[in-house]
Structure 1
Amino acid sequence: MKVYISADMEGVTGLVGADDVQMGGRDYERGRVMMTGDVNAAVRGALAAGAREVVVNDTHSTMRNLLVEDLHPAAALVRGKPKPMGMLQDLDGSFDAAVFVGHHARAGALGVLSHSFMGHEIEDMWLDDDRAMGEIGFAYATATALGVPVVALSGCDVACAEAAEWDANVRTAPVKYARDRFAARLRPADEARAAIEEAVREGVREAPSRTSPASHTPDTTEHTLTVRWQSASVAQQLAGIPGVTPSAGDAAHDRSVRVSGDLPALFRLFGVFQNVAYALTGQAPYC
């Protein structure tokens, strides 16, 4: 059994502020220790459920956050950037289950360190015009389109609730309870790691029952991605990409763009969107 772990940082045990998760922040090095601890708990859970191969993708910011020397020795690590598929790099239909560790709620939600990919630069995202989504939803939809069930997620309680809205079968491990965007009631670290390990163990054990005979065949159904940006300049530049158009159905359509395609292609194209936006704005993530 092969298990894939996408590891972000904002939803990690004990972390609540920008200084915890941004390189150069006063508590960033401690944040790296905490992130590695959460990921190791997930690896242990996957192994306990029978995984023979575990691949971890470091997906936060520079994608060089996990402490390589302290990572569980059974896990292979995908590290650094750029990555064409970002937080899903190296995921394909050969995996039996996907796990999201340290993920966070979408922009506009009152979850710990909530945002969608780019701090406040992205105001909203939708799949197929009417389903609001952030990183959890986009990654979930893309993984399942690749034929890989998402079986477990850890993060704050708001992130866990968001995952359940996409799939009630996803095992969740809330490691903190949001009190505001930069405040939370924390679970003790040992208790939080035990919850992560249990959620992953049970989720991976259930994975075969969630896998249909045809599930490893990629879903090539066409979907539509719409993104509303804070800056009209970003939307204007993105409209120069073939297939990308202004979203006339949005009241703020001068700041929104839409594009259609299969989900893996949209996920990869969205990485290009981010690169354009970073080049134009240079915004800090948590302003």
Structure 2
Amino acid sequence: MRIYISADMEGVTGLVDAEDVQPGGRDYENGRVMMTEDVNAAVRGVMTAGATEVTVNDAHGPMRNLLPETLHPAVRLIRGRPKVMGMLEGLDDSYDALICIGFHARAGAHGVMSHSFMGHEIEDMWLDGRPVGEIGLAHATATALGVPVVMLSGDDAACAEMTDWDSGVTTVAVKYARDRFAAELRPIDEARQAIERAAAHSLTSRATGAAATAHRTATLAVRWQSTSVAATLLGIPGVTSVDSRTIQADGTLPDLYRQFSVWTRVATALTDQGPYC
């Protein structure tokens, strides 16, 4: 059984602020340790449930956050950037399940470090008219590939967002949002034990290797903070304008996810903003 883990950082146990998750932040090095141990807990769980191969994609920021020397020895790590598929690099239908560790709620949600992919440059996103962030877009893309999402860890807002997309996904809240940069934290050992148990349970309680969703056309729309980003992206064939800051494109997943990765690279080149507002 092959398992894919996408590991973000904002939803990791104990972390609440940009200083915890951004290189150069005063607590970033400790944040790397915390992220690695949350991932290790998930790996232990899936190995207990019979996983024979585990791939982990470091999916946060520079994508060089996880500590390879302390990562579970069974893990095949995808590290660094750029990646054509970003947070889902390397995911295909050969995997039996996707697990999301350390995820956060979408832009506009009342969650810890909530945002959608680019801090405050992306103000909102919609998939077929439905508000979406990293959780929903990952779920839709994995489903299109025939890989079920079976588990997610993060704050309570992230867990609620995943449940709204798919109530069959096992979720673990490792902290409870008090504000965007404040949370009530579960004790570390308790949170990691919960991740490990949930990872094991998720592989035995839900069918893995589900059939891929029919390749239907979907519409992805993004509202940017900058009109310059929206105007520049109109140079990409198939991208159309909704208003001066909002663009959209039609396509099938995962192709639409891949194109969105190009949009974020263009936006990064055009803007110079901090990770959060």
Same fold (TM over 0.5): yes
Equivalent residue number for residue 279 of structure 1: 269
CA displacement 1:89-112 (0-9 Å, x = unmatched): 010001110000000000000100
Does the Cα contact within 8 Å between 1:93 and 1:218 map onto a contact in 2? no
1:45 is matched with 45
**Residue of structure 2 in register with 1:160 after alignment:** 159
Q: Please give the alpha-carbon distance, in whole angstroms, between the structure 1 residues aligned to 2:190 and 2:252.
A: 40
1:17 maps to which residue? 17
**Structure 2: how far apart are the matches of 1:83 and 1:175?**
28
Consecutive aligned runs of 4 or more in structure 1 exceeding 6 Å deviation: none
SS at match of 1:13: coil
Which residue of 1 is the match for residue 149 of structure 2? 150
- 1:224 is aligned to 2:219: yes
1:206 matched residue in structure 2 = 205
2:252 aligned with 1:257: no
Distance in 1 (CA, whole Å) between partners of 2:123 and 2:25 is 25
Aligned amino acid, residue 228 of structure 2: S
User: Matches of 1:245 and 1:60 in 2, distance apart?
Assistant: 29
TM-score (normalised: structure 1): 0.95
The equivalences for 1:56-205 within 5 A come to 56-128=56-128, 130-205=129-204
1:115-145 Cα shifts (integer Å, max 9, x gaps): 00000100110011x2100000001100111
Structure 2 gap segments, 5+ residues each: none
Deviations 1:224-263 (A, max 9, x none): 000011111100000110000002xxxxx11000001111
Superposed CA offset, 1:206-234 (max 9, x none) = 343x554xx0x464211000001111110
Q: String of CA shifts for 1:1-60, please: whole Å, max 9, x gaps.
A: 110000000000000000000000000000000000000000011111110000000000
How many residue pairs end up in the alignment? 277
- Aligned counterpart for 2:257 among listed residues 261, 267, 270: 267
Match for 1:33: what amino acid? V
> Does the residue aligned with 2:176 lie in a helix, a strand or coil?
strand
Moved more, 113-122 or 196-205: 196-205
- Is the contact made by 1:96 and 1:207 (CA closer than 8 Å) also made in structure 2? no
SS of the residue 1:263 aligns to: coil
The TM-score, its normalising length taken from structure 2, stands at: 0.98
1:243 equivalent in structure 2:
238
- Structure 1 spans left out of the alignment, 5+ residues: 248-252
Identical residues among aligned pairs (%): 65
Q: 1:25 and 1:48 mapped to 2: Cα distance?
A: 35
Tell me which amino acid in the other structure corresponds to 1:272: V
Any conservation in 1 of the 2:97–2:209 contact (CA below 8 Å)? no
Secondary structure of the structure 2 residue equivalent to 1:33: helix
Aligned partner of 1:202: which letter?
A: H
Cross-structure match for 1:250: none
AA of the residue aligned to 1:228? R
Helix, strand or coil at the partner of 2:254: helix
